[in-house]
Chains A and B, each alone.
Chain A
Amino acid sequence: MATFDLNDDSVVVIIGTGAGGGVLANELAQKGIKVVALEAGGRYLPADFVNDEWDSFAQLAWLDTRTTSGDWRIAKDFSGLPAWIVKAVGGTTTHWAGASIRFQDHEWKALSTYGAVDGANLLDWPIDGAEMAPWYDKAEAKLGVTRTGDRPGLPGSNNYKVFEKGAEALGYKDVHTGRMAINSVEADGRMACHQTGFCFQGCKWGAKWSAAYTDIPAGEATGNLEVRDRSHVARILHDDAGKVTGVEYFDAQGILQMQKARIVAVAGNSIESPCLLLNSASSLFPDGLANSSGMVGKNYMRHTTGSVYAIFDKPVRMWRGTTMAGIVQDESRHDPSRGFVGGYELETLSLGLPFMAAFLNPGGWGRGFTTALDHYENMAGLWIVGEDMPQLGNGVTLSDAKDQHGLPVANVHFDEHPNDIAMRNNAYKQGIAMYEAVGATRAFPTPPYPSTHNLGTNRMSERPEDGVVNKWGQSHDIANLFVSDGSQFTTGAAENPTLTIVALAIRQADHIAGEMSRGTI
């Protein structure tokens, strides 16, 4: 494993090692580029993962202070936990479920397709489906996505079988066990899925792709990548000419260090990335780095989500098997006759009893609540993921609260857009109808969890005044400052975001390498 000097100003510094940062680090290292990746969290491998919901959450989740505001229910029920994000090498790819689907072509062009929507700050991406197709191919190969290439699908679990039967009863056609970054057969030196049912807690078999035990060790093996874990970046530094020169970070001992850099790539997820840019304000950039557009931290999206759980008169035992290997895609189309723009996916989901108690109806109590849990064994569940509207007022600002290093933390503000509410209600109705078609005796339209998909707070735009980064994720204002995570998303589309984050990171690595060899950055 490489180690680089703090004064080595030829390295690319990447902040965060999740889906975006972890992949970018490996891709650059494979091309012979020297990389220092700074990760706030510790290093955990499959042997360390704990198949217990709360213990795993305590081990891996980002638990540093955050605050919330806005009319979303999260601000009331989980006021200190706006998002469910991981703080560890590999980032949230340790907890993620692996659903890996491409954007539909029209979703790259939300503004042109949907037209202006009141209260929404829609914009077209500066790239499209044709441009992204080859990068998606590479991303699917890297993640070993089932039902792409020659990779077979996963087998259907109990939860899937109930879901599939209900979907067919409603006449849905595009129904299958998902395109999942989970090995259905042994591949890439990793085992096939053993249906252990703890995808959200880190896959102990390594069957599910995570940057933690694929891209990161692969990058380290090249001798070009140094990952410094427990290194929390406090500030990005720049020179008088406005080029970034390095970063300050608190190391594992809490000591402030300075790492020089030729290029800095921010990949701390959509909450920490804008927070860091805002915390890096200086006399030259009083509103924060890369923020001449004023869009840093704005347009926060979290997908229109929610779950439907239903009880049957016989056991389902939904916790057995992969957590999210099941999808209905028929509702993902854009069809304004449903009363909203954009579409949504329905995906199987199960929670264990401890998480079900916390999330089924947060704050609920009494027999209305407990009789639901009494029939936990007879429950099936699905999750809604749909396109939500970017809104100028939604986003990340610096809070008055401070973290353990004395840095201002992120406040996450979210007000629901009428389009989000209309979509969620439609999805609840369809999900409940699916289960009722299979004989459900009771159904629960469960509110969104703390956000697992966090997007849009440093968005990509053609014109510098509309967003923070260009079509390469390069900041409009500062040529050697990149954004490499989900915060680049111009709009959210109906699909789970990670495959797109990975595809963008692979493409960005190619661009950075090209620009470096041309000497432009």
Chain B
Amino acid sequence: MKVEETGLTRRALLGRAVAAGAMAVTGAGFIAAPDAARAMEVSVVSPAQMATLMQMARDVYPHDQVPDRFYAVSVKGYDAEDKKTLIDTGIADLDAAARAQGHADYLSIGWEEDRVKVLQAVEQSVFFQTIRAGLVTGLYNQKDIWPIFGYEGESFSQGGYIDHGFDDIDWL
């Protein structure tokens, strides 16, 4: 299946847009934040590789309420010389695994379930484990993501939760 054949999903759009270097594509909330834009300006890896990494990040830790920019930030660090071999061979293997399951490549697969099957095929690889482990902090340790999950973080600056709801549960 070709990228074009996957239709006009955000995902397919993203794949095509970055593959063509068309960074100006913006839809509703579409990687509009400045950090996401920065994250997408790649210098070592190719735009298609970055798009693959972003898709992979979302498939490994899918949160539908979390905008793309957070995923972009979480994989931006792989756009580096010392990561190039890992990314080149890792994505080549990922695409090979996708082909073995009858797809053109990983990015062109329309359904998350089908991409997950491809990821499961490479789950034991250093590439997969490096990306996954990196995301644990790369994604969830972005302070701006915390409010999406309701997590409030530190309270010292407001004098603790003692007057900010530490015991306010009302449904028990």
Contact = CB atoms under 8 A, between A and B. Distances in A.
Interface of A: 51-52, 54, 155-158, 161-162, 165, 193-198, 204-205, 314-317, 319-321, 352-354, 356-358, 363, 365-367, 369-370, 373-374, 376-377, 438
Given A354-B137, A358-B136, A158 B168 contact: yes
B165 A317 contact: yes
Given A195-B161, A354-B140, A373-B63, A315 B150 contact: yes
A369 B149 CA distance: 14
A444 to B, nearest CB: 16
Interface stretch (B2-10, B15-23, B27-35, B152-160): B152-160
Nearest to A314: B171
Nearest to A51: B154
A357 B160 contact: no
A377 B165 contact: no
Given A320-B164, A366-B116, A377-B150, A197 B65 contact: no
Given A52-B153, A52-B154, A314-B171, 15 more contacts: A51-B154, A157-B166, A165-B172, A194-B156, A195-B160, A196-B161, A197-B160, A198-B154, A205-B156, A317-B165, A319-B151, A320-B155, A353-B146, A370-B63, A376-B151
B61 A374 contact: no
B160 A365 contact: no
B119 to A, nearest CB: 8
Contacts of A357: 136, 139-140
Contacts of B171: 314
Given A54-B141, A161-B172, A370-B63, A194 B162 contact: yes
B62 interface: yes
Interface string B50-75: 00000000011111010000000000
Contact of B160 (A196, A356, A376): A196
A321 B167 contact: yes
Interface string B112-156: 000010000000000000001000110111000010011111111
B149 A377 contact: yes
A321 B166 contact: yes
B156 to A, nearest CB: 5
B151 A156 contact: no
A462 B167 CA distance: 48
Contacts of B167: 155-158, 161, 321
